[in-house]
Amino acid sequence: MEQPRKSKRNAARWDIDRVRYKLNKPLAPHREIRSMGDILSDVLEGLEQPQSENILILRTAWPKLVGEQIAQHSEPGFIKDATLYVYVDHPGWMPELGRIKGVLLQKLQSQYRELHLRRLIFQLQHK
């Protein structure tokens, strides 16, 4: 039996094989084969993580807090248990953010008291 993928339908051959192998099902329609990664990326592209209002405010103020250059490679991710998780896009920026961690936490605590932040954690996540 010939391979059905990426081949044209041969109706005469199908009739012969159907009788020979006693197949009752019709020939499957020709479909383009796609990898699961392509399908999942299409599905996940439409989904977005819900963002709290506090994170949106911090993201707009982030360049003023850390500077333009560092803001291009990092952004506030989420707040959980009085901890601000910051996403960093390259491991080379982790030590830079670690150096200003104390100053940055003091700025955040003084300007955004209602958030009650006690810690900063930097996580590597590619944009």
pLDDT digits (tens, 9 = 90+) for 13-38: 777 877 787 777 666 667 777 888 88
Q: Map out the domains of the chain with their CATH numbers.
A: 11-45 (no CATH), 53-124 (3.30.300)
What's residue 10's pLDDT?
73
What's residue 60's pLDDT?
92
Whether the per-residue pLDDT at 43 is higher than 80: the answer is: no
Q: What is the 3-state secondary structure (H, E, C) of the chain?
A: CCCCCCCCCCHHHHHHHHHHHCCCCCCCCCCCCCCHHHHHHHHHHCCCCCCCHHHHHHHHHHHHHHCHHHHCCEEEEEEECCEEEEEECCHHHHHHHHHCHHHHHHHHHHHCHHHCCCEEEEEECCC
Whether the per-residue pLDDT at 2 is higher than 60: the answer is: no
pLDDT band at residue 50, thresholds of 50, 70 and 90?
A: low
